[in-house]
Amino acid sequence: MTTSTNGAFDRKPFIAGNWKMNMDHVQGITLLQKLAWTLSDAKHDYNRVEVAVFPPFTDLRGVQTLVQGDDLHIAYGGQDLSPFDSGAYTGDISGQFLNKLGCAYVLVGHSERRTIHNESDDVLNAKVKAAFKHGVTPVLCVGEGLEVRQAGTHVDHTLQQLRAGVAGLANEQAAELVVAYEPVWAIGTGEVAGPEDAQEMCAAIRAELESLFGAETAGKPRLLYGGSVKANNAAAILQERDVDGLLVGGASLDPAEFANIVRFESHLVTD
Ligand SMILES: O=C[C@H](O)COP(=O)(O)O
């Protein structure tokens, strides 16, 4: 069987692990060390496939120390940021603090922020802009719940979240953006959207970005899929043309499993 990969990797594949509220700062260091060793043993080429982790805030300083001390090529980021720069916002974390800790990325609008913390599209748009303002690349998460999927309006719903999230961005910002499509019904449930579902939505997202920012810009952002990704389904999803990477939750807590996802190319079906 012959299948194409995502545009012959026009965009560098991006595999990200969202640790969510797991791993204290000691456990986090151990996990990252094991991941780095596993990838090193496998001679992983970070120039071919970018790897990032999103630990809890309390882990970030330790992660930075390890990455710098061991010269690791693993990027890291925050799981959220404040829309504000600084001030009386108890419990919030500014994008400038993330930047200072060496965070390359920050998740914005993960479904658990949208649902548990009721974050609105307006707030998320402000967070996307705050991330760019502070030199951290936002990973804007979008996706529909089960009821929307069953109603068949998942594309409209997700594109509406996308439009709201990117409103007011300059073309250069849109080009740098990462978008993660995460159908809520597939997160942590074991239900995986099929590769064709991931492709359908990522193609729709790409087309929407083209209508908003033009074709040249729209060809640049990386589009990820997230939702019950494991080593045994990663390659099939990444084989879809418009899927450039994966946002992995539960499986990113197992260094061997996550390393196998990062090494998805060894499972690709080629000529
Ligand atoms: O951010 C990651 C997603 O919520 C997916 O989580 P999961 O891989 O545990 O389903």
Average pLDDT taken over every residue of the chain: 94
CA distance 59 to 182: 24
Nearest CA owner, ligand 1 atom 2 = 249
**Residue 4 covered by a domain:** no
138 in a structural domain: yes
Structure tokens at 24: 């204290």
Q: Is 182 in the pocket of ligand 1 (CB under 6 A)?
A: yes
- Give distance in angstroms: CA of 2 to centre of ligand 1: 29
Residue 9 predicted with pLDDT over 80: no
- Does the CB atom of residue 229 touch ligand 1 within 6 A? yes
CA distance readout (Å), 221 to 17, 56, 60, 92, 131:
18, 25, 25, 27, 16
Digit-coded pLDDT (tens) for 203-214? 999 999 999 999
Q: What is the pLDDT of residues 117-175, one digit of tens each?
A: 999 999 999 999 999 999 999 999 999 999 999 999 999 999 999 999 999 999 999 99
CATH of the domain at 69: 3.20.20.70
Domain, as residue range, for 234: 14-267
Ligand 1 center from residue 88 Cα (angstroms): 32
pLDDT in tens, 17-33: 999 999 999 999 999 99
Instruction: Grade residue 7 by pLDDT with cuts at 50, 70 and 90.
Output: very low
Residue 5 located in a structural domain: no
Find out whether the beta carbon of 187 lies less than 6 Å from any atom of ligand 1: yes
Q: Is the pLDDT of residue 3 over 60?
A: no
pLDDT at 79 over 90: yes
pLDDT of residue 190: 77
Question: CA 124, 130, 135: angle at the middle one, nearest 5?
Answer: 130
Q: Residue 1 domain-assigned?
A: no
In a domain, 165, yes or no: yes
In a domain, 210, yes or no: yes
Minimal-distance CA residue to ligand 1 atom 6: 249
| 19 belongs to an annotated ligand binding site | yes
In this structure, is residue 8 part of a structural domain?
A: no
Using a 6 Å cutoff on CB, does residue 38 contact ligand 1? no
Between the CA of residue 89 and those of 24, 54, 92, 201, 263, what are the distances in Å? 24, 22, 6, 35, 41
Query: Residue 222 — pLDDT band, cuts 50, 70, 90?
Result: very high
pLDDT, position 8: 58
Over residues 31-64, the pLDDT tens digits come to: 999 999 999 999 999 999 999 999 999 999 999 9
What is the whole-number distance in angstroms between the Cα of residue 20 and the centre of ligand 1?
9
> Using 50, 70 and 90 to split pLDDT, how confident is the model at 191?
confident
51 domain-assigned: yes
- Nearest-atom index, ligand 1, CA of 20: 1
The complex scores an ipTM of 0.99
Judge whether 134 counts as a catalytic residue: no
Q: SS3 for 8?
A: coil
Active site residue 110: yes
Verify whether ligand 1 is closer than 6 Å to residue 248 (CB atom). yes
Domain count across the chain: 1
Supply the pLDDT for residue 189: 82
